[in-house]
Structure 1
Amino acid sequence: MVASESHVLDIRDLTIEFPVYGGAVRALDGVTLSVGAGEIVGVVGESGCGKSVMAMLSLRLLPDGRYRVIDGGVSLLGHDVLAAPERELVRLRGGQAAMVFQEPLTALNPTRRIGRQMIEVIRRHRPIDRAAAKTLAIRLLGDMRIADPAEIMERYPFELSGGMRQRVLIALAFSSEPAIVIADEPTTALDVTVQRQVLSLLRRRARRSNAAILFITHDMGLVSQFTDRVYVMYAGRIVETGPTDAVLSAPAHPYTRALLEGLPEQATPKALLRAIPGNVPDLRQPPIGCGFANRCSHVFGKCAERPPLAPVSGAEGRRSACWLDSLGSAEA
């Protein structure tokens, strides 16, 4: 596929399926997404909406042969990810593109000290000797506001707190000065205070090196604090996208509004948080029309047809997959 030169990551009309007994799960359905240099782009939605599948496929980390690409493609720094040979992908991963996973305790090797792991990764992607790699590792840990990084280098992952382990992973991600970092739910297991610290460090480090970040999360609050643009995913599709401030201040899609209404700051004191009724549809049998119709309080006859991801009326740079806006309704 041909990608825009201004995009570090370019996903176009991507549709994939996972074969299962008696059929297939359509995990991504016509997904189009881009991330430019220096941008922090969020992807938000409930569990099961396809966010992590998209993130993993961006670096082709899903096992070959376990999924089928029905349509579309993925371009990373001009490389066709889905067609690239494994040796090319090995060079890209960790070098020009890095990933920060949700659970650092499983991402780090529990049998090796932090220092040994960092030195191995650094030397894999940089032509430097062990002493220089160790010096760089200590500096990277210091950049992550880790006190006494030389002492941390001697510890095993299980000896560190969750927040400390996540800082180590971020330091590793930036060790080769990547063009893009994909962060898949990197703060889920952390308390609110540590979440903010980790995201602040991630943003500061990315801004310093002009690296792009693709930030995967289910938390609209984190999206509002951290991202420049946002894609809202539901049932394997992008249902709304645009600048974060504009989308969150005036959401066009009922699903985006429902996610925002579930935030604690939207609730009445001592009242229960508002939840979206129902569940994400079974993607073994994707809905023919709007995937959110069975949970939407604004559903009407037109929703039996699949809405396109179309420009939002009077809102530059925004798109929404909802018939209400396209038909001119101001009461969605």
Structure 2
Amino acid sequence: MGRTAEVADEALLDIRELSIEFPVYGGAVRALDGVSLEVRRGEIVGVVGESGCGKSVTSLLALGLLPRDGFRVRAGAIGLLGTDVLTASERELGELRGSRAAMIFQEPLTALNPTRRVGAQMIEVIRRHQPLGKAAARDLAVRALGEMRIADAAEVMRCYPFELSGGMRQRVLIALAFSGDPAILIADEPTTALDVTVQRQVLTLLRERARRSHTAVMLITHDMGVVSQYTDRVYVMYAGRVVEAGSTRDVLSAPAHPYTRALLNGLPEGAPPKAPLRAIPGSVPDLRAPPAGCAFAPRCEHAAARCGERPPMFTRTGAAGHTAACWLEHMEGKSV
């Protein structure tokens, strides 16, 4: 039975109450603190927040890409395509990566070997995950590049990565990621280093290719504009926690957490003409000693006494699936 015939809302990635820490001199960094999120079949899910909020750590853990002796799991679980990532062997995870689950990294120059031609790298990866001969793997690589609207795919196959533009290198990575027909793809800031025009082209191609193959995508970004244009649902992360989650339409049209609202206020679309963009004052707290209550309270203009307690995820009235970890939404006479 093909993937498209399977249950449409199946959770391919299911992270539950995950808390991890990185040992450091004199203590530990609480990188994730009770994170829960899921990515269902065929949808594009955004994970958004400032640097240091835990987005990339979450994505690397999802595929078991962090050295196991480099972090400690305090609580929680990660389910990826029916596999328990935290207890699976490296061999089991290796069978998932590249075929059923793939990843696109932020900087293609570090993901591609600069000393080998693009074609040789693509053929090697394809043959590692599929029982194909060299000629068939080459044909598949050319087709995959063509699907990324690379007209001269055969010529690109002969190039070294440094001979290609940033946008072209990122298209190569996307083509390579989809060549194994993965059920889920994780893209970690895939267009951060690109200019706005090329960024839009690359993300549009990524979305079209994912829709065509019914591949689920977890899109890591710091850009709320990207979230608004390319995702179905979104998780907003701050200081290692999910502070708001819901459909992209609900979260962007009626943000419930002050941090989400602050991120949206920083978009050019929300600023008057010629006015400076609104920056969020302060910075993400030191996660070696995270606040006991709401981590955003020191930067929040709506902070109240109860924000000294950690808020649970509340469901917004009349918005099924839209949740936020904020007391102010539920205090009488208060609103954010």
Please classify the TM superposition score into its range, dividing by the shorter chain length.
Answer: over 0.9
Quote how far apart the aligned CAs of 1:121 are.
Answer: 0.5
Quote how far apart the aligned CAs of 1:265 are.
Answer: 1.0
2:50 corresponds to 1:46: yes
Match of 2:10 among 6, 11, 20: 6
Partner of 2:89: 85
Partner of 1:113: 117
Distance 2:332 2:256 in 1: 12
Partner of 2:233: 229
Distance 1:191 1:5 in 2: 34
Quote how far apart the aligned CAs of 1:267 are.
Answer: 1.2
Partner of 1:250: 254
Q: What secondary structure sits across from 1:89 in the alignment?
A: helix
Quote how far apart the aligned CAs of 1:188 are.
Answer: 0.1
Quote how far apart the aligned CAs of 1:331 are.
Answer: 2.8
2:326 corresponds to 1:322: yes
In structure 1, runs of 5+ residues without a counterpart are none
Distance 1:7 1:315 in 2: 21
Report Cα offsets for 1:135-187 as digits up to 9, x if no partner: 00000000001121000000000000000000000000001100000000000
Partner of 1:178: 182
Letter aligned with residue 15 of structure 2:
I
Task: List aligned pairs for 1:127-146, cutoff 5 A.
Answer: 127-146=131-150
Contact kept in structure 2, 1:313 and 1:325, CA below 8 Å = no
Partner of 2:201: 197
Distance 1:244 1:168 in 2: 28
Distance 1:111 1:83 in 2: 35
Quote how far apart the aligned CAs of 1:64 are.
Answer: 1.7
Distance 2:244 2:68 in 1: 30
Letter aligned with residue 211 of structure 1:
T
Quote how far apart the aligned CAs of 1:314 are.
Answer: 2.1
Distance 1:231 1:328 in 2: 26
Report Cα offsets for 1:47-85 as digits up to 9, x if no partner: 000000000000010112000000001000000001001
**Number of residues paired by the alignment?**
329
Distance 1:263 1:307 in 2: 27
Quote how far apart the aligned CAs of 1:330 are.
Answer: 5.3
Quote how far apart the aligned CAs of 1:311 are.
Answer: 0.7
Contact kept in structure 1, 2:62 and 2:80, CA below 8 Å = yes
Change (3 A) 1:102 1:175: same
Distance 2:335 2:328 in 1: 8
Quote how far apart the aligned CAs of 1:270 are.
Answer: 1.4
Q: Identity percentage over the alignment?
A: 71
* TM-score normalised according to structure 1 size: 0.98
Q: What secondary structure sits across from 2:70 in the alignment?
A: coil
Contact kept in structure 1, 2:44 and 2:233, CA below 8 Å = yes
Report Cα offsets for 1:169-214 as digits up to 9, x if no partner: 0000001100000000000001111111101110111111110000
Contact kept in structure 2, 1:313 and 1:326, CA below 8 Å = no
Quote how far apart the aligned CAs of 1:326 are.
Answer: 2.2
Contact kept in structure 2, 1:312 and 1:326, CA below 8 Å = no
Distance 1:155 1:26 in 2: 43
2:31 corresponds to 1:57: no
Distance 1:316 1:21 in 2: 44
Contact kept in structure 1, 2:244 and 2:324, CA below 8 Å = yes
2:25 corresponds to 1:21: yes
Quote how far apart the aligned CAs of 1:328 are.
Answer: 4.5
Distance 1:45 1:313 in 2: 24
2:151 corresponds to 1:147: yes
2:213 corresponds to 1:218: no
* TM-score normalised according to structure 2 size: 0.97
Distance 2:313 2:227 in 1: 21
Match of 1:207 among 207, 211, 232: 211
Contact kept in structure 2, 1:99 and 1:181, CA below 8 Å = yes
Letter aligned with residue 234 of structure 1:
Y
Contact kept in structure 2, 1:122 and 1:133, CA below 8 Å = yes
CA RMSD in angstroms comes to 1.1
List 4+ stretches of structure 1 deviating above 6 A: none
Partner of 1:187: 191
